[in-house]
């Protein structure tokens, strides 16, 4: 099945003084994950910092529910290898702390790789929602400051919760 090529763009205001509060979260580096940056647990959607984001997503996509939500903290040199979130209907990225020079989110054209990729430049507060099966990557972060983003997946509400038994992968490597 052809993926939906539309990437929806919205704006969700970052929470007031979130900078101090996200430092309270636990971060890990996962050598097996495509995202080589500091990562939280895969589902911290119940953290109050993300109430407005989760609420907006459920308003914008009423037939879907947030299944995973994590935070990625990129330091200089961190990157994300090409991967997708196959098995999920939608995936999203929400830019919390970035500048215009920060590494973008890149969607290569897999079927026609000679065509230019789709490039999503980061801007604080912007929320981008895309088909979970679309491969994407983040080139190494070169800015001197950190790049902080929130990512996650949406799944149709009719899918039984028992699928999410903790073993369901949040991502797939594509190459």
Query: What does the DSSP 8-state code read for residue 125?
Result: T
* Nearer residue to Zn ion within complex by CB, 57 or 102: 102
Residue 121 lies near Zn ion (rule: CB under 5 A): no
Q: Among the candidate windows 34-42, 82-90, 99-107, 158-166, which touches Zn ion by CB under 5 A?
A: 99-107
Q: Is 75 helix (H, G, I), strand (E, B) or coil?
A: coil
Q: Which of 5, 99, 119, 163 binds Zn ion (CB under 5 A)?
A: 99
* Residue in the shown chain whose Cβ atom is closest to Zn ion: 143
User: What's the min distance (Å) between Cβ of 131 and Zn ion?
Assistant: 27
Compute the least distance from the CB of residue 30 to Zn ion, in Å: 23
Q: From the CB of 77, what's the least distance to Zn ion, in Å? A: 13
Strand partners, 90: 131, 154
Work out whether 102 is an interface residue with Zn ion (CB under 5 A).
Answer: yes
Nearer to Zn ion, 99 or 119 (CB): 99
Give the nearer residue to Zn ion in terms of CB position, either 63 or 101: 101
The token pair at 111 is: 């079927």
Environment class of 170 (CB within 10 Å of its CB; exposed 0-12, middle 13-18, buried 19+) = buried
Asked if 143 is part of the footprint of Zn ion (rule: CB under 5 A), the reply reads: yes
Strand, coil or helix: 49: helix
Q: Which of 101, 121, 157, 173 binds Zn ion (CB under 5 A)?
A: 101
Q: Which is nearer to Zn ion, 7 or 124 (CB)?
A: 124
3-state secondary structure of 153: strand
Contacts 24+ apart (CB under 8 A), 104-109: 104/138, 104/139, 105/136, 105/137, 105/138, 106/136, 106/137, 106/138, 106/139, 107/7, 107/134, 107/135, 107/136, 108/82, 108/135, 108/136, 108/137
Least separation in angstroms between residue 151's CB and Zn ion is 18
Dist CA 125 CA 160 (whole Å) = 31
Q: Taking the complex as a whole, how short is the minimal distance between the CB of residue 138 and Zn ion, in angstroms? A: 12
Return residues touching Zn ion (CB under 5 A): 99, 101-102, 143
């Amino acid at each position: 099945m052809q993926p939906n090529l539309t990437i929806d763009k919205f704006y969700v205001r970052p929470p007031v003084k979130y900078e101090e509060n996200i430092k309270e979260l636990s971060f890990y580096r996962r050598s097996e994950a495509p995202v080589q940056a500091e990562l939280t647990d895969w589902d911290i959607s119940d953290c109050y910092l993300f109430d407005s984001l989760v609420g907006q997503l459920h308003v914008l996509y009423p037939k879907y529910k947030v299944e995973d939500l994590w935070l990625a903290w990129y330091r200089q040199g961190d990157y994300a290898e090409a991967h997708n979130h196959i098995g999920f209907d939608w995936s999203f990225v929400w830019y919390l702390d970035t500048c215009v020079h920060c590494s973008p989110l890149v969607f290569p054209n897999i079927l026609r790789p000679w065509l230019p990729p789709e490039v999503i430049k980061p801007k604080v507060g912007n929320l981008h929602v895309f088909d979970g099966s679309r491969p994407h990557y983040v080139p190494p972060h070169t800015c001197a400051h950190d790049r902080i983003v929130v990512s996650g997946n949406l799944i149709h509400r009719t899918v039984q919760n028992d699928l999410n038994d903790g073993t369901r992968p949040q991502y797939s490597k594509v190459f």
